[in-house]
């Protein structure tokens, strides 16, 4: 597995990250041959202020040999838009609390979602992270 990450600060408020992956595994393809898989992800984060950042992500993943157990050998894409809310950033005891709602759109060129019935899907999620 090769994983390469590049991050650059485009301005005081805007950060760009690009992540590329390539993997290889012997005898892991659906037909028993050697397998490769690869993908690229891009992330943009815009810090509005100390309490709020707007995040966007786009990803493409390809598993032509079916080695990763996705259930498809086609391409899978996703785009996500989310927020990183630090509701208590000014409080020294709870400054590391992050609430992160997001909405995501996934697409596959093969019918992959909903048990193989659909090419795409929408999802919404929220998580909370507290570092200590």
Tens of pLDDT along 15-67?
Answer: 999 999 999 999 888 788 899 999 999 999 999 999 999 999 999 999 888 88
The span from the first CA to the last CA of the chain, in angstroms, equals 31
**Strand, coil or helix: 23:** strand
Is 69 a residue whose pLDDT tops 80?
A: no
The structure's pTM equals 0.86
pLDDT of amino acid 29: 81
């Amino acid at each position: 597995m090769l994983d390469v990450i590049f991050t650059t600060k485009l301005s005081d408020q805007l950060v760009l990250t690009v992540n590329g992956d390539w993997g290889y595994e012997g005898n892991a393809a659906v037909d028993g041959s050697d397998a490769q898989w690869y993908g690229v992800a891009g992330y943009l984060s815009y810090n509005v202020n100390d309490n709020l950042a707007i995040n966007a992500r786009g990803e493409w993943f390809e598993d032509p040999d079916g080695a990763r157990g996705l259930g498809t050998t086609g391409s899978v894409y996703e785009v996500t838009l989310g927020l990183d809310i630090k509701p208590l950033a000014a409080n020294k005891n709870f400054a590391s609390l992050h609430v992160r709602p997001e909405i995501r759109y996934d697409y596959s060129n093969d019918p992959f979602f909903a048990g193989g019935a659909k090419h795409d899907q929408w999802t919404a999620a929220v998580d909370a992270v507290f570092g200590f």
